[in-house]
Chains A and B, each alone.
Chain A
Amino acid sequence: MGDRTPLFEEHQRLGARIVDFGGWDMPLHYGSQIDEHHAVRRRAGMFDVSHMTVVDLDGADARPWLRHLLANDVDRLPEPGSALYSCMLNETGGVIDDLIAYDLGGNRYRIVVNAATRAKDLAWLERHAAGHDVAVRERPDLAMIAVQGPEARELAATLLLSDAHREAALMLQPFQAADLGEVFVARTGYTGEDGWEIILPAARAADFWRGLEQAGAAPCGLGARDTLRLEAGMNLYGQDMDEDSSPLESGLGWTVAWEPADRDFIGRRALEAQRDSGPLRKLVGLLLQDKGVLRSHQRVVVEGIGEGEITSGGFSPTLGRSIAFARVPAGSGERVQVDVRGRLLAARVVRPPFVRLGKARIELD
């Protein structure tokens, strides 16, 4: 038996197919992951993401400390209530984890890191906090529900307890968050649709989930979460990047804040060396030309140049085609082949995202 979130009994009640995910018993789907995927793109779906690790940081050194720890720069956050996406690197520029960091104001920050990397991340944070005025406090008392889709915010707003809260929540811009009594609402997500990620006390999670269900949100599992994020061009730590790959080799160069040049963050020197000599590998999007499904670890053949590997692959329900991310030699062009069950199939290199806000963002041929 793995770890269980406060919503485990809800998943059982809804007939979820439960699977192990990073030591947690989580819902893979509640019947059809493809139906759940479409529900998010067309209306609203809800995900239990309470297995993710919420860590609050508090102290006079918090801001400079985070500026040293993260490859993106929290100085870019314009005001309390704003958030950014960043990688956390090791000394050789490899990715320890990716995360979202929220400025809570008053020298307080909240970071949400992955479930599977929890122990490693906490050890890293605690080790680097030693000697600095910053307290690292994990929040296992909190649950998290993502509500995503074109109708998600309006639907979720009906669950908030006052007109003032509803108004404040609906006014949030993308990558902004607000503390509304016990409920922390952030306009962030992992699907490529609009919506919120809601952090709330574990004791309130089941009621909130049932309220969302009654309001019309479709329960969605990890299967749909994966197909949605892949369509949206969003990386999955452990598949698309790990400690042996840098942000520059993972399509995440845009998350590295090089300026100001005197901001020393862990991994900066190694990353600069790679940037200056040119990374040898890059992460690209692939659209399979034939019928079939691209899957992790399949071999990619780039004629005249070399070989690469699929990092994440799958079927895109919105496009009706198979898509993937692949790590390939930096000089690769637009056409590659992928070894799918012993046959070399043609794939076209495309720039993610594949789908955003319900619509295809690439040319289908």
Chain B
Amino acid sequence: MSNVPADLRYTRSHEWLRDEGDGTMTIGITDHAQDALGDLVYVETPEAGRSVKAGDACATVESVKAASDVYAPIGGEVVEGNAQLADQPELINQDPYGAGWIMKLRPASAGDLGRLMDAAGYTASLEE
């Protein structure tokens, strides 16, 4: 059973989003996703200042098994990519919702979050 924290929002493509309350959102991939990918070996994070639209591929995670794109759950401006992942991609496997965060975004518009799933919705989608 994968871990799905109740306080986050989710996409069908297995990204999670946390509202930091200071105008920024932290984004990563879920426990289900890291488990399916296996050991991660490379992560490419986007550069600060880049503008993304919801659904844009903005990061890449590469595991022993496969490479996978990470999609922006909402549109906005990239504030920061997690620099630690360059040397420690395994943080995503070990702590996907904490130290394994992938990027921080400043959202383009406040209303976007409504389109994301809550924990119950994401869990249900995993069983489909």
Contact = CB atoms under 8 A, between A and B. Distances in A.
A211 interface: no
A227 B64 contact: yes
A168 interface: no
A32 B67 contact: no
A293 B42 contact: yes
A348 B96 CA distance: 34
Nearest to B39: A34
A293 B39 contact: no
Nearest to B60: A341
A253 interface: no
Given A227-B64, A293-B62, A32 B39 contact: yes
Nearest to A29: B38
Q: Is the interface of A mostly helix, strand, loop or mixed?
A: mixed
Contacts of A227: 64
A90 interface: no
B93 interface: yes
Contacts of A314: 64
Contact of A34 (B42, B62, B64, B67): B64
B67 A33 contact: no
Interface in A184-211: none
B42 A32 contact: no
A33 B38 contact: yes
Given A227-B64, A315-B64, A33 B39 contact: yes
B42 A291 contact: yes
Nearest to A314: B64
Contacts of B62: 292-293
Chain A CB within 10 Å — which of B38, B41, B44, B62 has the most?
B41
Interface string A236-268: 000000000000000000000000000000000
Contacts of B38: 28-29, 33, 223
A249 B39 CA distance: 32
B42 A292 contact: yes
B55 to A, nearest CB: 19
A293 B67 contact: yes
B41 A293 contact: yes
Given A227-B64, A291-B44, A341-B67, 9 more contacts: A32-B39, A32-B93, A33-B38, A292-B42, A292-B67, A293-B64, A314-B64, A315-B41, A315-B64
10 closest A-B pairs by CB:
A34-B39, A315-B41, A291-B42, A293-B62, A315-B64, A32-B39, A33-B39, A33-B64, A341-B67, A223-B64
28 contacts: A28-B38, A29-B38, A32-B39, A32-B93, A33-B38, A33-B39, A33-B64, A34-B39, A34-B41, A34-B64, A34-B90, A223-B38, A223-B64, A227-B64, A291-B42, A291-B44, A292-B42, A292-B62, A292-B67, A293-B41, A293-B42, A293-B62, A293-B64, A293-B67, A314-B64, A315-B41, A315-B64, A341-B67
Interface of A: 28-29, 32-34, 223, 227, 291-293, 314-315, 341
